Structure 1
Amino acid sequence: MNSLIFSALSRPLFWLMIVVSLFILYRGHNEPGGGFIGGLIAASGFAILALAEGIRPARRAMRVHPVTLLGVGLSLGLLSGLPGLVSHGSFLTHWWFHSGSFHIGTTLLFDLGVYFAVVGGVLSLVLRFYEEEQEA
């Protein structure tokens, strides 16, 4: 796309979307949000960057291939269910760790896996469509 305004605003918008997606990811186990919607917001940020500046700047910003992200996400989701299987005999029974008002658990690991899987899956599709469009 050859819009000067869109190109100028794509970088700040990209970083804003990444920060918002991480916020939504973290708050997801207590309030609405989580890995899926956070991953969609992050993937949208990369898609806007690819649309405004091209595929190469978007891939440089990712630093990891989308299929690798997808595999890491699926592995983290599987890994987050194993502690419950070992301790309670039930897969995906989550463990919680409390320290004052701060608490974290294996649900965050599961949400992180979903986040990576969604970002990797959506960007595999979107970037491939952009590549085909540029080839034509």
Structure 2
Amino acid sequence: MTSMPSLILSTAARVLLPLLVLFSIFLLLRGHDLPGGGFIGGLVGASGYTLYLFAFDSSAARAALRMDPRTMVGLGLVIATLSGVIGTFVRGEPFFTSQWWEVYVPIFGEMKLSSPLIFDLGVYMVVLGSVMTIVLTLAEAEE
């Protein structure tokens, strides 16, 4: 017997998912200089997708995620590892030595891109993918 989904929960999930993902990206980007970073950003993002799963079902949450969470974990590990290798191959410095580049972005002007930010992006993807793999596996076992 299937129950009717809650109108309040489904409406809230549709509104809160984009806001939570946006907030998780904000936490990711500010994490190098202030509290935040890839780990907490990934947890906040996973909470948004988990809320969406509670409101709808696991297939809707997978569709909203747009990438298999296990693939996300693997890609995140590759990105995090590559961020450490950049300094070794480009400048001959030790593994995980921070690298900084100035990049011109048309709307924002001159910005600095760093290897720690790339590492945090990898951590974000690993945390989001890991949590969502666990949550989706548990949810699909219940169905």
Counterpart CA distance in 2 for 1:104 and 1:24 is 16
Counterpart CA distance in 1 for 2:102 and 2:76 is 25
Q: Identify the residue that residue 92 of structure 1 maps to in structure 2.
A: 96
Residue 117 of structure 1 pairs with residue 126 of structure 2: yes
The 3-state SS of whatever aligns with 1:120 is helix
4+ runs deviating over 3 angstroms: 98-101
Counterpart CA distance in 2 for 1:47 and 1:112 is 20
How many pairs align? 134
**Counterpart residue type for residue 131 of structure 1:** E
Unaligned runs of 5+ in 2: 104-108
Provide TM-score, normalisation by structure 1: 0.92
Report the CA distance between 1:3 and its aligned residue.
2.1
Provide TM-score, normalisation by structure 2: 0.88
The 3-state SS of whatever aligns with 1:97 is strand
Unaligned runs of 5+ in 1: none
Q: In proportion to residue count, which structure has more helix? A: 1
Q: Percent same amino acid at aligned positions?
A: 43
Residue 22 of structure 1 pairs with residue 25 of structure 2: yes
Q: Identify the residue that residue 70 of structure 2 maps to in structure 1.
A: 67
Residue 8 of structure 1 pairs with residue 11 of structure 2: yes
